């Protein structure tokens, strides 16, 4: 597998300083994992996108160009969640009928900033027509502004809140996510570490109680990697500066390790 590092933190409106340290820290922790739960050793190559943490537009161009040159399924490590904008923009040019599943505590559908930030990247992708409204699935939501909630409802964007996951059960929700994602021509999965409960991921900028456990998130991902249309995954918003005993970085490494599977 190819890992692409994007050590960028300027897309967080000054709130995500420290996320630029995550790629190297997570890769270090990943190298400590001998085998994943499928008995596969995580073996990978590493590339890095040139970023300018004082220029979002320049960095977005660099990300876009780097992803456009990619010829295999990448695992992308940020960085703040704004990186997903340029990553998916390139992805949408490479594949037909692209769709995205986002694991996040927040919808990231605030009113548009320019350039896009970690608070509105998804709304920007939708409104710039890089992804159809029906090809977006959000999982793990539990904190939003009213305008974001209204935007999701008005645009009929599919989402599964933590309340819904608790009421319906994780197996049922994962099956619904799988069924919907299968309809996409190509699938991009974005994991914001704050989808996890702070007990499992304290090292992030926006701690939201009552989230997924690390086991529950891995349950989702271990199923999604079996979809033949899965083409790319990113992991964002890990902040080593805010971490406790490297728990969040270790959890990020664990998440990535479970994306490696046996090829039969």
Q: What CATH number corresponds to the domain at position 116?
A: 3.40.800.10
The pLDDT assigned to 4 comes to: 98
What's the maximum distance between 2 C-alpha atoms anywhere in the chain? 47
Residue 196 pairs in a beta bridge with: 212
Is residue 87 domain-resident? Answer: yes
* 128 CB-side CA count, 13 A: 19
Is residue 157 domain-resident? Answer: yes
* First and final C-alpha spacing in the chain: 16
Domain that holds residue 122: 2-257
The pLDDT assigned to 111 comes to: 86
0.85 surpassed by pTM? yes
Is residue 112 domain-resident? Answer: yes
**Environment class of 111 (CB within 10 Å of its CB; exposed 0-12, middle 13-18, buried 19+):** exposed
Sequential DSSP letters for the chain: -EEEEE---GGGTTS-TTGGGHHHHHHHHHTT----TTS-----EEEE----TT-HHHHHHHHHHHHHT--S-EEEEESSTTHHHHHHHHHHHHSSSEEEEEE-SS---PSPPSS--TTTHHHHHHHTTSS-GGGEEEEEE----HHHHHHHHHTT-EEEEHHHHHHH-HHHHHHHHHHHHTTSSEEEEEEEGGGB-TTT--SSSS--SS-B-HHHHHHHHHHHTT-TTEEEEEEE---GGG-STTHHHHHHHHHHHTT-----
Residue 192 pairs in a beta bridge with: 236
d(CA 94, CA 124): 19
Is residue 156 domain-resident? Answer: yes
Return per-residue pLDDT of the chain as tens, 264 residues. Answer: 999 999 999 988 777 899 999 999 999 999 999 999 999 999 999 999 999 999 999 999 999 999 999 888 899 999 999 999 999 999 999 999 999 999 999 999 998 777 888 989 999 999 999 999 999 999 999 999 999 999 999 999 999 999 999 999 999 999 999 999 999 999 999 999 999 999 999 999 999 999 999 999 999 999 999 999 999 999 999 999 999 999 999 999 999 999 998 553
Is residue 262 domain-resident? Answer: no
Rg of the chain taking only CA atoms, in angstroms? 17
Stated length of the chain: 264
| 8 A C-beta contact, residue 68 and residue 94 | yes
Tally of domains in the chain: 1
The pLDDT assigned to 262 comes to: 57
Q: Which two tokens stand for residue 147?
A: 């305008």
d(CA 27, CA 137): 28
The pLDDT assigned to 264 comes to: 38
Q: Which of 138, 140, 111 is nearest to 123 (CA)?
A: 111
Is residue 263 domain-resident? Answer: no
The pLDDT assigned to 112 comes to: 72
The pLDDT assigned to 14 comes to: 72
Q: 10 Å Cβ neighbour count for 207?
A: 17
Is residue 105 domain-resident? Answer: yes
Is residue 154 domain-resident? Answer: yes
d(CA 112, CA 15): 17
């Amino acid at each position: 597998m190819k890992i692409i590092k994007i050590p960028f933190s300027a897309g967080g409106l000054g709130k995500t300083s420290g996320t630029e340290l995550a790629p190297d820290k997570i890769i270090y922790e990943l190298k400590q994992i001998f085998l994943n739960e499928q008995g596969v050793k995580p073996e990978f190559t590493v590339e890095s996108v040139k970023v300018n943490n004082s220029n979002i537009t320049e960095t977005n161009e660099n990300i876009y160009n780097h992803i456009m040159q990619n010829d295999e399924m990448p695992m992308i490590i940020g960085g703040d969640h704004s990186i997903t904008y340029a990553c998916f923009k390139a992805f949408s040019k490479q594949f037909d009928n692209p769709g995205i599943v986002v694991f996040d505590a927040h919808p990231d559908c605030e009113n548009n900033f320019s350039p896009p930030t970690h608070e509105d990247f998804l709304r920007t992708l939708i409104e710039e027509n890089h992804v159809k409204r029906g090809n977006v699935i959000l999982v793990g939501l539990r904190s939003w502004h009213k305008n974001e909630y209204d935007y999701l409802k008005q645009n009929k964007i599919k989402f599964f809140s933590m309340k819904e996951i608790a009421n319906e059960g994780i197996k049922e929700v994962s099956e619904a996510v799988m069924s919907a994602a299968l309809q996409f021509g190509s699938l991009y999965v974005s994991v914001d570490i704050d989808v996890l409960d702070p007990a499992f991921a304290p090292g992030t900028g926006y701690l939201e109680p009552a989230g997924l456990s690390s086991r529950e998130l891995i349950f989702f991902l271990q199923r999604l990697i079996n979809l033949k249309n899965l083409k790319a995954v990113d992991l964002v918003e890990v902040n080593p500066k805010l971490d406790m005993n490297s728990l969040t970085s270790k959890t990020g490494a664990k998440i990535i390790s479970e994306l490696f599977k046996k090829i039969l």
